Amino acid sequence: MFRKLLNGKMASILAVFLALFMVTGVAEKERTNASGQWRYVLENGGAVIEGCNVGEKVLSGHLLIPNSLDGYPVTGIGTYAVAFYSQITGVTIPEGVLSIGDNAFSWCEGLSSVLMPNSVTSIGKGAFSNTTGLTEITIPAGVTNLGEAIFSGGSLTNIHTASDNPKLESIGGVLFDKQRETVVLYPAAREGAYTIPEGTLRIGETAFYGCRGLTGITIPDSVTDIGDKAFCGCDALPGVTIPNGVTHIGDSAFQDCRGLLGMNIPDSVTSIGRQAFSQCGSLADVTIPNGLTSISEATFFGCQSLVNVILPDGVTSIGEDAFWRCESLAGLILPDSVTHIGNGAFAGCGGFTEFVIPKGVLAIGDELFKDCGGLSSVTIPQSVTSIGEWAFAFCGALPGLDIPDSVTQIGDYAFAGSRRLILQVEKDSFAEEYAKENEIPYVIATAKPEDGGSSADDNSQDMQSSAANLQCYDLDSDKIPSFNSVVGERKVMDVGSSSSRISGVQQITYTYETLSRDEDLVAYFNALRAAGFLVTKDQDGDALKGSVQLGIASADDGKIIILELSWDNAKFSVVLAKGDGTITPNE
């Protein structure tokens, strides 16, 4: 699955190249003026500049944008029209120009002065981004529409407005709306802390976008809304106190705030947008408000330091990639109110050890627990009907998984790379057929616990499993490991056999030369013991305790399975299943 967050970043990069292609390519309606210097297109009777032809010359110094081209009035400066000319030091835009397009002057690093006429009504996204020589700007009176991140990556420390601008006002070099209710734009290069004036109601979209020098922010109680990308990329911001009046936190509001350590979200907040805290690499602790009913897509995506999240009762939905790669998160308790969990929501959460899926959840999505290397136990309720692709892939520590008979669909590679995993399924269930078709080790369990989940009853006498289900094949006596033979990477130093109470099974005890772990072994004992198939005892009749692993050894005419139980740091109880004989529970 491609991550939408990462795709967004890639899309932005591709958009740059696409835009450059469109600028440098020759569109059907593009023209070149009589002097040969400017390329333009006609829109609504006016000329919109698309690019500049300089040939071998270097465009430098103060640039005067012409007020007409071939008799057509210049009404706009298009996307990337004058971008990447690093030796331009100033630009004067003539009266009559209505719009400045996205990234029109981006990466003009030497640009230190810009004169815009009052006729300009719109300034596009990133129009003056990465203009590192520009420290001050005056927004003309006619501007009513501002794109996001207009000055990001630059050196802007003060934003001024024309005194007769009816929509915008500068307060201390910070841009507000005329009513002083919304923070519109903060100078991207200004350093230190900032206090938003009392009476402000909203922090606008991208208001503090990319303000990497912002070290603190005080938000007044009057604020009710934090817009999309409001603080995105504020690396130096260590913490934010959100007042109790805020009801909405927008998409990507704090994305990439890599210095953010903690976040206490008040109960007044009822909605948090997508990717709101994604890639906040230092974020360790978050309190989710009681009024929240959903965790949006990629909300905590890539928050690798996150160790504590408490979800309140009432949350019904966990969005796609919501906690993707939250590697330090040791666990997460989902309230019973949760009925939906999106694809990849917990993928890469390597700190997870146990997880209980609420009883109302219908589907386990694609990649839900993929790469959860520490996961050792998952409870799946009877409400679940489908398991998605790669859902439990590469869960290396997961020894067993009970699949209820309610599951009627399992995606491709659902258990790929989970080398220890033994499925516990109900006889003639879809899960059993899936296990057979995909050669996944499994055992049969027909008993159902009271809570409706899938489980095995240790005392049940009607459970059985074909040895073939365990991938056990015909075994001749000469295939049984003997003295001085090698199993895995261990040399057999002693062999002792004893009669087994399990039909069709021979039980043998080995002493090995070393205890080095063979990476090909798969944990298996707990699944068998839970199903009532095996109770292993030592030579004195006491039950053995330790880890049991499954080894698959190749033979000339097939494979054998070896169950190994470590005991007293030297002894192993080994069970070899023969042919297609039936294994039944102990007497």
- pLDDT of res. 534: 39
When divided into structural domains, the chain yields a total of 2
Final residue before a domain boundary, out of 170, 198, 230: 170
pLDDT digits (tens, 9 = 90+) for 446-486: 445 444 443 333 322 222 232 223 332 222 333 334 444 44
Is pLDDT at 501 greater than 50 in this prediction? no
Decide which of 539 and 585 is more confident. Answer: 539
Q: Is residue 390 domain-resident?
A: no
- pLDDT of res. 56: 60
> Which of 19-28, 107-116, 451-460 is predicted most confidently?
107-116
Q: Which amino acid is at 328?
A: S
Q: Is residue 394 domain-resident?
A: no
Cα separation, 428 vs 434, whole angstroms: 10
Final residue before a domain boundary, out of 112, 136, 170: 170
Q: Is residue 73 domain-resident?
A: yes
In this prediction, residues 125-153 reach a mean pLDDT of: 95
Is pLDDT at 300 greater than 70 in this prediction? yes
Is pLDDT at 350 greater than 50 in this prediction? yes
With tokens 């198939």, the residue in question is: 533
Give the C-alpha distances (Å, rounded to integers) separating 80 from 76, 130, 450. 12, 13, 66
Decide which of 401 and 566 is more confident. Answer: 401
- pLDDT of res. 493: 42
The residues facing 39 across adjacent strands are 32, 51
With tokens 């989970």, the residue in question is: 418
Tell me which DSSP letter residue 115 carries.
E
pLDDT digits (tens, 9 = 90+) for 547-563: 333 343 333 333 333 44
What is the DSSP track for 241-303?
Answer: E--TT--EE-TTTTTT-TT--EEE--TT--EE-TTTTTT-TT--EEE--TT--EE-TTTTTT-
What CATH number is attached to the domain comprising 144? 3.80.10.10
Q: Let me know: does 331 contact 307? Beta carbons within 8 Å.
A: no
Q: Is residue 471 domain-resident?
A: no
What is the DSSP track for 293-337?
Answer: -EE-TTTTTT-TT--EEEPPTT--EE-TTTTTT-TT----PPPTT
In this prediction, residues 72-94 reach a mean pLDDT of: 96
Cα separation, 514 vs 211, whole angstroms: 58
Is pLDDT at 333 greater than 70 in this prediction? yes
Which residues are within 8 A (CB) of 8 and not within 5 positions of it... i.e. 6 or more apart?
none
Q: Is residue 365 domain-resident?
A: no
Q: Is residue 218 domain-resident?
A: no
- pLDDT of res. 566: 38
Confidence of residue 439 (pLDDT cuts 50, 70, 90): confident
Give the C-alpha distances (Å, rounded to integers) separating 145 from 138, 181, 230, 488. 15, 17, 17, 70
Final residue before a domain boundary, out of 104, 135, 170: 170
Decide which of 424 and 482 is more confident. Answer: 424
Cα separation, 310 vs 468, whole angstroms: 45
- pLDDT of res. 55: 67
The SS3 of residue 14 is helix
Q: Is residue 437 domain-resident?
A: no
Confidence of residue 13 (pLDDT cuts 50, 70, 90): very low
Mean pLDDT, the chain, whole residue set:
78
The SS3 of residue 185 is strand
Cα separation, 411 vs 433, whole angstroms: 13
Decide which of 494 and 272 is more confident. Answer: 272
Is pLDDT at 315 greater than 50 in this prediction? yes
Lowest mean per-residue pLDDT among 40-44, 217-221, 423-427, 444-448? 444-448
In this prediction, residues 352-364 reach a mean pLDDT of: 96
> Whole domain around residue 144: which residue ranges?
1-156+165-170
- pLDDT of res. 29: 82
> Which of 13-17, 220-224, 498-502 is predicted most confidently?
220-224
- pLDDT of res. 441: 83
- pLDDT of res. 452: 46
Q: Is residue 16 domain-resident?
A: yes
pLDDT digits (tens, 9 = 90+) for 508-519: 333 333 323 333
